[in-house]
Amino acid sequence: MTRYTDRRVLVTGGGSGIGQACVLRILDEGGRVVATDISEAGLKDTVSKAPSAEGRLSTVVMDVGEEASVTAGVAEAVGLLGGLDTLINAAGILRSARLEQTTLSDFEQVLRVNLVGTFLTIREAIPALRNGDGPAVVNFSSTSAEFAHPYMSAYAASKGGILSMTHTLALEFAKDGIRFNCVQPGSISSGMTDGTGQARQSVGPGLPDDADYSLFGRLQPMLAIDGGAMFADPSAVASVVAMLGSPDAFFVTGTEVRVDGGTHM
C-alpha cells in the first residue's frame, strides 16, 4: 500500500507505543515522517526499527506540555518536511490514583500534556496544514472519554476534552479543507499500559495498591487477542490512524473511531 507516497506527516509521541507504531506504519506506506517525543532515547529506538526508511524519517525532541518547545518543534518539523499534510497527536501520559489521593499537580500535568499539548501542536501546525495536500489531523482520545475507567479521572477528563475539541475544530476548519478525527484506543499495549514507556510522555498506570479489580470486569475485549494477552498490539490502532490521516478518508471528519476489540459495545 502506497497511499502516503510524498505525503508529509508529523507524529507526536513517536518514540514509543502507539505513536511509534504509527510512525512505522506510515513509513511502510511510503510517507515522509517527522517523529517527535520528549525522549531522545525513544526516538533513537524508532529510527532503529525503520532501517528501510531511506531518509524519509527525521526526529525532533519536543515536549508537548511546554509552549516554547511546541512552537520550535513544529516549526522545525515543517521545515524538514517542506510543509505538512497529516498531523497525528499521539503524545500522552497516564496517572492513576483514587480521586482523594490525586494531587493537583498530577491532575494538572495530565491535562497539560494530553489536552493542552494537543491544542498547542494543532495551533502551531494550522498554517502549514492550510497549505497541505488533503490535510488531516488525527487526535488521540480514549475509551475512557465516554466509558467509566476507575482511578483515571484526570486521564478521562483530558481525553474527553480532546474528543470535544476534535468535533469543534472539524467544524471550524471545514471550509479550509482540514479534516479532524480522533481514535479511541482501549485494551492496547503501550508504554502507558505496561509501564515500559520513556520519560514523561509514557508513564505506567500505577493502579492503587488497594485497587478494586472487580471494577474492571466490564473492561474486557470481546475479540480474542493472539497468545491470550491482555492488550492488543499497537499496530491495531496504527492501521486505523493511517486510514484517517490518508486521502482514503477524504469524506470523514468530526468523528471518532473506537479501537478496543469490542470492549465497549
β-partners of residue 59 are 35
Phi then psi for residue 250, to 5 deg, are -60, -25
Q: Is 165 helix (H, G, I), strand (E, B) or coil?
A: helix
Q: With CA atoms as reference, report the closest residue to 18 among 95, 92, 110, 96.
A: 92
CB neighbour class for 177 (10 Å; exposed up to 12, middle 13-18, buried from 19): middle
Long-range contacts of 22-26 (CB under 8 A, 24+ apart): 22/88, 22/90, 22/237, 22/238, 22/241, 22/242, 23/50, 23/57, 24/49, 24/50, 24/238, 25/235, 25/238, 25/239, 25/241, 25/242, 26/86, 26/242, 26/245
- Side-chain-side CA neighbours of residue 153 (13 Å): 11
Contact 18, 42 (CB under 8 A): no
Q: Looking at 4, 151, 155, 213, which residue is catalytic? A: 155
> Is 151 one of the annotated active-site residues of the chain?
no
Q: Which residues are catalytic?
A: 155
